[in-house]
Structures are given as structure tokens and as C-alpha cells.
Amino acid sequence: MNLEDIQANVIDQDRGRKLEIVDPWEGKPTGMTLWIAGPDSETQRKARIAMMDELADRAEPDGAIKAEHREAARLNCLAKTVLRWEVQHEGSDLAFSHKNVLRVLRAADWLQAQVDAFAGDRRNFAPEGL
């Protein structure tokens, strides 16, 4: 692998990869599909920087950051890795927006865990042919 291959993969990670959400009990598809930006993507890099800014803005004068603020920043960062989706709510497509991504992620910790694990696993974003 050379530098051009690495750079091409970083760019490719911004196109995202498909994650089919499965229920945590039987591993069956839920019908929700999300496209997630890779860990080396510009999308994730910007999300991490925004998270650091958000945490700095929430810091108390002594530098302490409340747990609820850390959790909100973490969830915001994770939501920014979702590029698009196919999600139904009450029989209709749920509009894709940051607010709705947060709404879906807040629905269950197991859902967040799947997105987080997928987004951080470089094997999901390997170059074609590997």
C-alpha cells in the first residue's frame, strides 16, 4: 500500500458504508439501514473536533465538565458520523436530519453501541478488494 492508496481510502470513507441495524436479542434485521462515515474520514475528523469544541464550551471555570454534557457531546459526535439512512417511523420514511439521528440513537443504548462499534472498526471501511 502506498500513500496514494491511503489517501484514496480516506476519501472513500467519506462515502460511508452500509450498516443494517439488528435487534440485540435475536440478531434479526430491524429494517433500519444507516450509512456511516469511516474512522479516517474527514467527516469523523470534523465530528471529533466539534466534540472537543462543545466540551470546551461546556467546561466550568475549574475545567470540570458535567457527565451529562460529556454524554451529549459524545452522542452529537456519533450522530455526525451517520451520512444518510433508511428508517421508518409509523409506516413512513423518517426524514434524515441531525435532530432525527439523535432521536433514533437515543431510543436505545444497544442501537448506539452498534453504530459506534461499526463506525470505529476500520475493517468495515477496507479498500475494495481486500
pLDDT per residue over 76-126, tens digit each? 999 999 999 999 999 999 999 999 999 999 999 999 999 999 999 999 999
Torsion of CA 99, 83, 118, 23, to 10 degrees: 60
Greater confidence (19 vs 2) lies with 19
At 88, list the grid cell.
421508518
Rounded to whole angstroms, the Cα distance separating 98 from 24 reads 24
Per-residue pLDDT at 130: 64
Between strands 17-22 and 29-36, the pairing is antiparallel
The Cα 68–Cα 12 span in angstroms is 34
8 Å CB contact between 86 and 48: no
- Domain locations along the chain: 38-130
